[in-house]
Structure 1
Amino acid sequence: MGALYEGATPQAIDAAVDALSGSGVVLMPADTVYGFFGRADDQEAVERVYGIKQRDRGKPFVLYTDARSVDRWAEVGPVAKELVDTFWPEALALVLPRRDTIPAWFTAGGPTVAVMTAANHLISSVVSLVDGPVFGTTVNYSGEPSITTGADAMRFRDRVDVMIVDDSIPVYNVSSTILDCTIDPPVVIREEAIPLERIHQRIPGVRVDRSRRK
């Protein structure tokens, strides 16, 4: 059973970093909902989370990064940079060309990777302190609703190494919006936290393609 911490305390952050640095899986709140987190270059951690969620291996997870580091993991073109500068750290994930710093197996052999950031101190601190790429995904079984409270997330405690509970952190209570920036103009493939109207104000021509929903 995973070690339990209440609140984004320094002790909780240290425990999360230690776990992620050793093939561990951490359950903690993101800006949107509760999430599972692991190292994207650690195949054991990635496989553990696929197993916990009972998720199709053909659906890669999202990388958590920040505006200063995103270019380390993905190629950021002019449109993507404008979106990063405008919206981050809001809950907007961008699909970008993957750099070789992310293993091909992480993206199921695909040439792209989804990247996003976080506004809350917990996630941003953990990601900055881990020496490597960190992925995150919603706490749920694949196909079920995402979990927004620590109480509901407790049923997964025995599947993770560290669990951090703080219901004050999720502010959206829905998943992130995902925008594919490898297409011109970009395409919204999941519209949730950030509505299409706001994106369209910055990037005219953006449309929604729900058939590609992740």
Structure 2
Amino acid sequence: MANVIKVNTQSDESIIECLPAACEVLDKGGVIAMPTDTIYGVAAKVSVTAGIQRIYNLKGRDQSKPLAICCSDISQITRWSNCSIGEDILKELLPGPFTLILERSTKLNPDLNPGVQSVGIRIPDSALCIKLVAQLGEPIALTSANISGKSSAISIEEFKELWSEVDVILDGGPCNQQEDRRGSTIIDFTVPGKFSIVRVGSLCDETVKLLTEKYGMQNITRQ
């Protein structure tokens, strides 16, 4: 059974208190469950291959489906990707409910999404996520806390089937999330000057308008 740690996600003190236990687990190749700005997720340290593999195993996830990574600030994005979009766009979108697909950096663990030349990067609008990654000192691999194909979870009670499979659960109570439980909007920026919506999620329509009207980017989303 996982170690459940209650955390007040609105309190910096409460967040800081939970970080040592979570980081210790991640450093050792463990997996944690935690709330994000959209839904609950499961996470492992990007540089630890054993943790990445555990995520696939506990979710029953297809090995060909890439995992996104979570950074703590915009300056890290250029370390872990070859970013093709300007800092002004990054600051518009992040932190926020978006996953940006960019060309991956050679600095990333080659066992993370092997054979895939891009990487999805998140900076959730979540003090807990940001402070955890900052203390860890490198990104986490992050995906939804559910068995693959099942509904996403906005409370820890909704992923009970995973409780015995993860090492630590950071219980921040119900996520502040819309009823349709959409995760992040996934946007592919690998083609310079263009973008495509890979998955419709939070704030999708508003973001398409922003990118096309304010930044003059071409929307090449497949119909």
TM-score (normalised: structure 2) = 0.87
User: What residue number does 1:180 align with?
Assistant: 188
d(CA) in 2 for partners of 1:132, 1:182? 23
d(CA) in 2 for partners of 1:208, 1:30? 26
Offset of 1:168 from its aligned partner?
Answer: 4.7
User: What residue number does 1:142 align with?
Assistant: 148
Report if the CA contact (8 A) 1:62-1:135 is conserved. yes
Report if the CA contact (8 A) 2:32-2:168 is conserved. yes
Offset of 1:131 from its aligned partner?
Answer: 2.7
d(CA) in 2 for partners of 1:64, 1:30? 10
User: What residue number does 1:102 align with?
Assistant: 108
Q: Structure 1 unaligned segments of length 5 or more: list them.
A: none
Show CA shifts across 1:64-86 (max 9, x none). Answer: 0121211110111235x333111
Q: Secondary structure at the match of 1:155?
A: helix
How do 1:80-95 and structure 2 match up within 5 A? 81-95=87-101
Show CA shifts across 1:139-176 (max 9, x none). Answer: 11111111111221233111111101112544354200
Please state if 1:205 is matched with 2:205. no
What amino acid is aligned across from residue 98 of structure 1 in structure 2? R
User: What residue number does 2:11 align with?
Assistant: none
Q: Specify which of 11, 16, 19 is matched with residue 13 of structure 1.
A: 19
Offset of 1:207 from its aligned partner?
Answer: 4.1
TM-score (normalised: structure 1) = 0.90
d(CA) in 1 for partners of 2:78, 2:142? 18
Report if the CA contact (8 A) 1:39-1:46 is conserved. yes
Q: Secondary structure at the match of 1:160?
A: coil
What amino acid is aligned across from residue 4 of structure 1 in structure 2? V
User: What residue number does 1:63 align with?
Assistant: 69
Report if the CA contact (8 A) 1:74-1:97 is conserved. yes
Report if the CA contact (8 A) 2:36-2:175 is conserved. yes
Q: Secondary structure at the match of 1:208?
A: coil
Show CA shifts across 1:12-37 (max 9, x none). Answer: 22211111111110001011100000
Report if the CA contact (8 A) 1:93-1:116 is conserved. yes
Q: Specify which of 129, 132, 147 is matched with residue 126 of structure 1.
A: 132
Q: Secondary structure at the match of 1:126?
A: helix
Higher mean displacement: 120-129 or 188-197: 188-197
How do 1:183-194 and structure 2 match up within 5 A? 183-184=191-192, 185-194=194-203
User: Which of structure 1's runs of 4+ aligned residues deviate more than 4 A?
Assistant: none
d(CA) in 1 for partners of 2:37, 2:222? 24
d(CA) in 2 for partners of 1:153, 1:161? 14
RMSD (Å) for aligned C-alpha atoms: 1.7
What amino acid is aligned across from residue 150 of structure 2 in structure 1? E
What amino acid is aligned across from residue 201 of structure 1 in structure 2? L
d(CA) in 1 for partners of 2:202, 2:82? 24
d(CA) in 1 for partners of 2:208, 2:92? 9
d(CA) in 2 for partners of 1:168, 1:142? 21
What amino acid is aligned across from residue 205 of structure 1 in structure 2? Q
Identity %: 22
Report if the CA contact (8 A) 1:34-1:170 is conserved. no
d(CA) in 2 for partners of 1:170, 1:21? 29
What amino acid is aligned across from residue 191 of structure 1 in structure 2? V
Q: Structure 2 unaligned segments of length 5 or more: list them.
A: 9-13
